[in-house]
Amino acid sequence: MFKSKKVKVLLALLLVFVMFAAVGCGGAKEEPKKEEPKSEAPKEAEKPAWPTKDITMVYHSKAGSGGDMFLRAMSKSLEGPIGRTIIVENLPGAASMNAWKYVDESKDGHTFLGVSSTLITSPIMNDLPLTYKSFEPVAMMFVDPMVLFVQAEAPWDTWEDFQKDAQANPGKYNIAGGIPGELGFVAAKLLQEKAKIDINVVPFEGGADATVAVLGGHVDGAIGEYGEAVAQLDAGKLKVLIGFNPVEGVDIPTVQDKGYDFLVEKFRGIVAPKGTPQEVIDIWADAALKALDEPGFNKYWNNMKLVRAYKTGPEFVKVMEEQDKQIRAFLK
Amino acid sequence: MLENLLAGGQNVFDWASLAAIAFGVLWGIVGGMIPGINATIAMALLLPFTWGMDPINAIMMLAGVYCGGEYGGSIPAILIGTPGTTAAAVTSIDGYEMHKQGKTGIALGTSLISSTFGGMVSAILLIFVAVPLASVAIKFGPSEYFALSSVGLTLVCSLGGRNVFKGILAGAIGVFIASIGYDPMNGIPRYTMGNLNIADGFGLVAVMMGLFAISELLLQAEELTGDDKFSIASKVDTSLPNWSIIKTFMPTAFFSSLLGTVIGAMPGVGASTACFVAYSEAKRWCKDGNTFGTGNIKGIAAPEAANNAVTGGALVPLLALGIPGSNSTAIMLGALMIHNVQPGPLLFEKTPEIPFSIFVALIVANIFMLIMGYYIVKLAIKVTSISKPILFACIMALVFTGAFAYSGDTFDIFVTFIFGLIGYLMKKYGVPYTATVLGFVLGFIMEANLRRALLISKGDWFAGLFNSPISSTLLILAIIAFFTTVYQNLKKPVDVETNGNA
C-alpha cells in the first residue's frame, strides 16, 4: 500500500519534471520525421568549415504560435541539406527585441533568425534600435497571400462592382483589416488610394475574428490572409473580390491585374547577424531552396496556402525596404 | 447522424485511440495543475509528437489534453489558493475558502464532478447542435462582445463584499492595467513609458500568479510564527461529496455548462471569461448568492462546469467554421492541417466521421477525467499534510518557474513579483483583487470591441451599441445589474472601518 503510493507520487513528480523539461526546450527536439533520409553525403570535394556545430534558429513568438509551428516545420526540412540539427529557440517578449537582440549579439556563427513582416512593423511602431538593416538577409521563403473577401451573398460579383459602389457611397462600407502598422492595414490604405475608393477600415486583431465578423454580417468584408478564410471560401460561404498576391492554383484577380501599381507582401524568411561570411549565407540560401522541394515540407506549406517566393540577397532587402517605406508613409 | 456517431465511436474505441485520449487527459490534468502551464501550453508541448500519429488519434489526444487542462487548474486553486490556469482563477475564490474551512474533500469533489458534468453537457450538445451553434457564434460582433463583457464586468460591484466602491475601484484598476501596452485600434504603445517589456502589455498569467499566488503566500507566511504550528494541525475533511450535496449544485452546474458552451463557441472570448460570467450569473440567480465568496459550493460548481463546457464550445468555430477561436483550438487546427484535414463547413459534409469522432472522444475524455481526477485528488489532498514553510517555498518556486515557462520571458518573473506585492496590499486593505483580474481579463475585449463598434456605426453610440436584440438585451441586463447592486449596497449601512480590516 505504502509502496504503491510512493510509486504514484514518484510518477506524478516525474510527469511534472518531464513537462518542465519540455517547456524548457520548447519542444525543440522533436522526434525525427520518418520520410526524410536525404542526408546527402559530402557533396563537394572541399568540405566547408561551416557548420561545425548544431544551429540555433531564434524566433520572436511563443512555442506553438502559428509562426513558430511554421518555422519548426521549415527547420526540420533544412536539416537535411545543411547536415546539422537545427534547434528552434523561442525568445518572445519586448516587442520582439528579446529575440532580435539575442541574434544580433550572437557571435558564434551558428545563430540565425526566423523573420516575418514583424521585422519591419515592430521596429517602426515601437521605435526599436534594431531594424531589418541590422541583419544580413539570407532568404525570403514565402508570402502569405492576402485577399479582400466578402460574404458569398454580397451584391458584388466582381471587383469592379464593388469599386463602383464604394465610389458612389464614400465611407459606407466597413472592411475589417489589421491595426495600423500591420500589413493588412497598409494593404487597405494602398488599395483605397490606387482604386480611388473610400471604405471604412475597422481594425481587427486576428484574421479569425475578422472572418467571423464577415460571416455574421457585422462588417461588409475583410482584408486578410487567404489561408485564414480558405475553409469558408471552399464551402462557398465567402468570396474573394480581389487578391493582393497571386494564390497558386486559385483563379483570383489581383491588384496587379487591375493595373494598381503596388505590392504588399507578408513575407517569411531567414536572416543572419551582421558580419556573417558570404559563404555561410550561400550555404543557407542553397539549403533553403532545397528545403522548399522537400516532400514533407512542400506538402506543409501548400496546405498552409503559402506562396513560394524565394528571394535572396539584395532582392530580399528590396522587399523589406519597400515595406518599410509603405508602413512609414501611412503612419505620418 | 446516428451512423456518423457510430463511425465516430468506431474510431474512438480501439486501443490506440483510447490510450491516446487517456494519456492526453493525464497530461492535461498535470499540466493544468502546474501554475503557468495551461491547456494551451500543454497542447503545444505535445503537438510535435502528434505529427507522426494518425490525424484522428492526434486530435483526440489534444482534445483529451484540453479537457484535462481546464479541469486540472482547479486543484491547486482549491488546495493552495493558486489557480493552475487562468480559467481556474474564479474557482479559487470559493474553493480556497472552503479548504480553509476544512471542507477540502467536498470542494475538490465538487470541482471534479462539475468539470466532468460541464464537459459532458457540452460534448453532447455538440453532437446535436454543433452546426446551429456556429450560427449563434457568428451573431456575435463587436457590439455584442462589448455587451457581453459589460455583463461580466458588473460582477466587480459585488466582489467587494459589503462595500461596492472597493469592487469598482479594484475593477477599474484592472481595466487600466489592460490598457497598458499597444492600443488595439492604432497599434501605438500606451502608458509604457518607453519600456519595451510592456509594449505588448502585461501577461495575464504573470499578473494573475502575482495577485493570487504570491500575495496569498506572503499573507500566510506572515501568520507562521510559532515553530510548533509548522505542520498543519487543522483538520481537513477529505471525504468527497455525497449525493445529497451533489444535488444542491447540479442545477447551477447545468446552467453554467450551457453558458460555458455558448461562450466557448464565440471566437476570442475563452475559458477565463466564461468562468467569470458563469460565476457572476450563478451569484445573481441563486437564492444564496450573497454567500458566494465565503465558501459556497455553487461558487465552485459554476466556474468549473463553465470552463470545461468551453472545451466543447470552442470546437464549434474550429470544426464548423474552420476558424480557431482560441489558442488551444489554433493548435488543434495546426494538428489537423498538417495531416491535410481542413476543418470547416465541408468537413461535416465530406468526412463527418472526423468531427463525430472528436465529439465521442470528448465524452470518453470526460469519463477518463472523472476516474483519473478521483485518484489525483486523493493524492493531491496529501499536500495539506506537508509542513507549511516547505510547501510555501515549493509553491513560490513553482509559481515563478511557471510564470517564466508560460511566456519564456524573464521580465514576467518581475511582473509576477510586483503584482504579488500589489495583491498583498490589496488583501491587507480588503480591496478585492479578483475584481482587478476580472477588469484585466475583460478590459481589453471591451475596449477593442467598443471602439470597433463605434467605428462601424461611424461614431453613433446608440446605433453602435444597441444594434441587435442580443446586444440590447445584454446591455440592459448589465445596466440593471449595476444599478441594483449599487442601490442595494447603498441601502445597507456600510461600516467602512470594520470592512477595511476584513
Could you give the 3-state DSSP secondary structure of residue A151? strand
For residue B136, the tally of other CB atoms under 10 A from its CB is 15
Q: Which of B364, B315, B40 is nearest to B204 (CA)?
A: B40
- Predicted pLDDT at A1: 41
Contact across the interface for A213 and B141, Cβ inside 8 Å: yes
B480 touches chain A (CB under 8 A): no
At residue B335, the pLDDT reads 81
Three-point CA angle B141, A146, A290, nearest 5°: 135
Give the integer Cα–Cα distance in Å for B362 and B401: 31
- Residues A156, A161, A162, A168: is their CA dihedral positive or negative? negative
**Cα(A138)–Cα(A276) distance, integer angstroms:** 10
d(CA A122, CA A112): 19
Instruction: Using alpha carbons only, give the angle B272, B275, B278 rounded to the nearest 5 degrees.
Output: 150
Chain A residues touching B75 at Cβ < 8 A? none
**What is the full DSSP assignment across A153-195?**
TSS-SSHHHHHHHHHHSTT--EEEEPPTTSHHHHHHHHHHHHH
Residues B300-319 pLDDT 10s: 999 999 989 999 888 888 88
CATH of domain A54-143+266-331: 3.40.190.150
The owner of cell 493544468 is B32
Owner of C-alpha cell 509594449: B199
Give how far the C-alpha of residue A164 lies from the chain's centroid of Cα atoms, to the nearest Å.
Answer: 33
Q: Do A92 and B346 touch (CB under 8 A)?
A: no
Can you name the residues that pair with A254 across neighbouring β-strands?
A243
Domain spans in chain A, listed from the N-terminal domain onward? 54-143+266-331, 146-243
- What's the CA gap between A36 and A77, in Å, rounded? 8
CA distances from B438 to B170, B176, B318, B422, B499 (A): 9, 12, 26, 15, 21
Choose the mutation target among A97, A126, A174 for the interface with B, i.e. most B CBs under 10 Å.
Answer: A126
Low-confidence winner among A210-214, B81-85, B369-373, B439-443 (lowest mean pLDDT): B81-85
Tell me if A81 sits within 8 A of A87, measured CB to CB. no
Count residue pairs from A and B with Cβ separation < 8 A.
193
DSSP 8-class letter at B201: -
Residues B330-349, buried b or exposed e (16+ Cβ, 10 A)? bbbbbbbbbbebbbbbebbe
Answer yes or no: is pLDDT of B385 > 70. yes
A8 lies within 8 A of chain B by CB: yes
Given this model, what pLDDT does residue B451 score? 92
Q: How far apart are CA B380 and CA B229, in angstroms?
A: 21
* pLDDT at B142 exceeding the cut of 60: yes
C-alpha closest to that of B402 among B81, B35, B31? B35
Q: Is residue A66 within a helix (H) or strand (E), and if so which, with residue range?
A: helix A66-82
Which three cell numbers mark A169? 457611397
Out of A98, A181, A216, the one facing B140 most closely (by C-beta) is A216
**Any alpha helices (H) in A216-312, and if so which ranges?**
226-234, 278-293, 295-303
pLDDT at B433: 84
Q: Which of the 8 DSSP states describes residue A94?
A: G
> pLDDT 10s digit of each residue in chain A, 332 long?
444 555 555 555 566 655 655 554 443 333 343 444 444 444 444 455 677 778 888 888 776 666 777 787 788 788 877 777 787 877 777 778 788 888 877 877 788 888 888 888 888 877 788 888 788 888 888 888 899 999 999 999 999 999 999 999 998 999 998 887 778 888 888 899 889 999 999 988 777 788 888 988 999 999 988 888 888 888 888 999 999 988 877 888 999 888 888 888 888 888 888 888 888 888 888 888 888 888 777 877 887 788 888 888 888 888 888 888 888 887 76
Structurally, chain B folds into a number of domains equal to 1
- Cβ count within 10 A of residue A332: 4
CB contact under 8 A, A62 and B408: yes
Contact by Cβ (8 Å): B212, B402? no
Q: Give Dmax (Cα) for chain B.
A: 69
Nearest to B409 among A93, A205, A208 (CB): A93
Grid coordinates standing for A263?
505590392
Minimal Cα–Cα distance from A26 to chain B, Å?
Answer: 7
Confidence band of B355 (pLDDT split at 50, 70, 90) = confident
Residue B188 pLDDT greater than 90, yes or no: no
Residues in a beta bridge with A42: none
Greatest mean pLDDT among A110-119, B104-113, B228-237 lies in: B104-113
Q: Which of A5, A22, A235 sits opposite B345 (nearest CB)?
A: A235
The three-class DSSP label of residue A142 is strand
Q: Measure the CA–CA gap between B107 and A289, rounded to whole angstroms.
A: 58
Between positions 199 and 238 of A, the ones with CB within 8 A of B are 200, 202-206, 208-209, 211-213, 215-219, 228, 230-232, 234-235, 237
pLDDT value at residue A261: 84
**Low-confidence winner among A230-234, A303-307, B90-94, B215-219 (lowest mean pLDDT):** A303-307
CB neighbour list of residue A268: distance below 8 Å, 6 or more residues apart: A67, A70, A114, A115, A116, A140, A141, A142, A143, A144, A306
Query: Which of A264, A284, A269, A275 is closest to A316 using CA atoms?
Result: A269
Report CA torsion sign: A194, A195, A197, A203.
negative
Our CA-based measurement puts residue B67 at a distance from the nearest CA of chain A, in whole angstroms, of: 17
> What is the helix (H) or strand (E) element at residue A272, kind and residue range?
strand A266-273
Looking at domain A146-243, its CATH superfamily turns out to be: Periplasmic binding protein-like II (3.40.190.10)
If you search the block for the grid coordinates 520582439, which residue do you land on?
A: A96
Indicate whether B211 pLDDT > 70: yes
How far apart are the CA of B50 and the nearest CA of chain A, in angstroms?
10
Kindly state the DSSP code that residue B321 receives in the 8-state scheme: I
Burial (0-12, 13-18, 19+ Cβ within 10 Å), B53: middle
pLDDT digits (tens, 9 = 90+) for B43-54: 888 877 777 788
Considering only the beta carbons, identify the residue of B45, B185, B340 that sits closest to A27: B45
Q: Which residue type is seen at A19?
A: M
pLDDT in tens, B22-49: 999 999 999 888 887 888 888 888 877 7
- ipTM exceeds 0.90, yes or no: no
- Are A128 and B187 in contact (CB < 8 Å)? no
Q: Are B357 and B380 in contact (CB under 8 A)?
A: no
Instruction: Give the number of residues written for chain B.
Output: 502
Distance from C-alpha of A195 to C-alpha of A160, rounded to nearest angstrom: 10
Query: C-alpha grid cell for residue A34?
Result: 520518418
- Strand duo A55-59 + A86-90: pairing: parallel
Q: How far apart are CA B307 and CA B87, in angstroms?
A: 6
What whole-number distance in Å separates Cα of residue A38 and Cα of residue A41? 9
Give the contacts of A210 (CB within 8 A, at least 6 positions apart). Answer: A176, A177, A204, A219, A222, A224
Q: Please, are residues A268 and A70 in contact by the beta-carbon 8 Å criterion? A: yes
What residues of B are in contact with residue A235 (Cβ under 8 Å)?
322, 344-346
Q: What are phi and psi of A196, to 5 degrees?
A: 55, 50
pLDDT at A42: 42
Closest to A132 measured CA to CA, from A324, A267, A332, A331: A324
- Please tell me the distance from the alpha carbon of residue B28 to that of residue B261, in angstroms, as a whole number: 20
Whether A102 and chain B come into contact, CB under 8 Å, resolves to: no
- Output the pLDDT for position B425: 93
**Single-letter amino acid code for the residue at B134:** A
User: Which residues of chain A are within 8 Å of residue B186 when distances are taken between CB atoms?
Assistant: 179-181, 203
Note the Cα B207 to chain centre separation in Å.
Answer: 15
> B221 CB near a chain A CB, below 8 Å?
no
Grid cell at residue B331? 493548435
C-alpha distance from B438 to closest chain A C-alpha (Å):
21
Nearest to A180 among B186, B268, B375 (CB): B186
Q: What is the DSSP string of B233-275?
A: -S----PPP-HHHHHHHHHHHHHHHHHHHHHHTSTTT-HHHHH
Residues in chain A: 332
Cβ atoms < 10 Å from Cβ of B283: 23
Which residues in chain B have their CB less than 8 angstroms from residue A30's CB?
48-49, 51
User: Chain B partners of A203 at a C-beta cutoff of 8 Å?
Assistant: 184-187, 452, 455
Contact A98 B184 (CB under 8 A): no
Of A180, A202, A215, the CB nearest to B187: A180
Task: Output the CA torsion sign for A286, A289, A294, A296.
Answer: positive
B409 contact residues in A (CB cutoff 8 A)? 91-94, 98
B454, pLDDT greater than 90: yes
Q: Cell 507520487 sits at which residue?
A: A9
Residue holding cell 470544426?
B319
Averaging pLDDT over each range in A43-57, B11-25, B342-356, B480-494, which range is the top one?
B11-25
Closest Cα in chain B, distance from residue A45 (Å): 36
Instruction: Return the residue matching grid coordinates 513553482.
Output: B398
Whether pLDDT at B227 is above 60: no
Whether B395 has a pLDDT exceeding 50, the answer reads yes
For residue A31, which residues of chain B lie inside 8 Å, CB to CB? Answer: 48-49, 52
Strand partners, A55: A86
| CA A71 – CA A59 distance, rounded (Å) | 8
Residue range B330-345, pLDDT digits in tens:
888 878 877 777 788 7
- Strand pairing report for A221-225 and A146-151: antiparallel
Q: Determine the average pLDDT of the residues in B253-274.
A: 86
The answer to whether A9 contacts B51, with C-beta atoms less than 8 Å apart, is no
Question: Is cis: bond before A51, omega within 30 of 0?
Answer: yes
Which residues span the domain enclosing B354?
2-500
Separation in Å, CA B31 to CA B23, B293, B304: 12, 27, 16
All cell numbers assigned to A88: 528552434
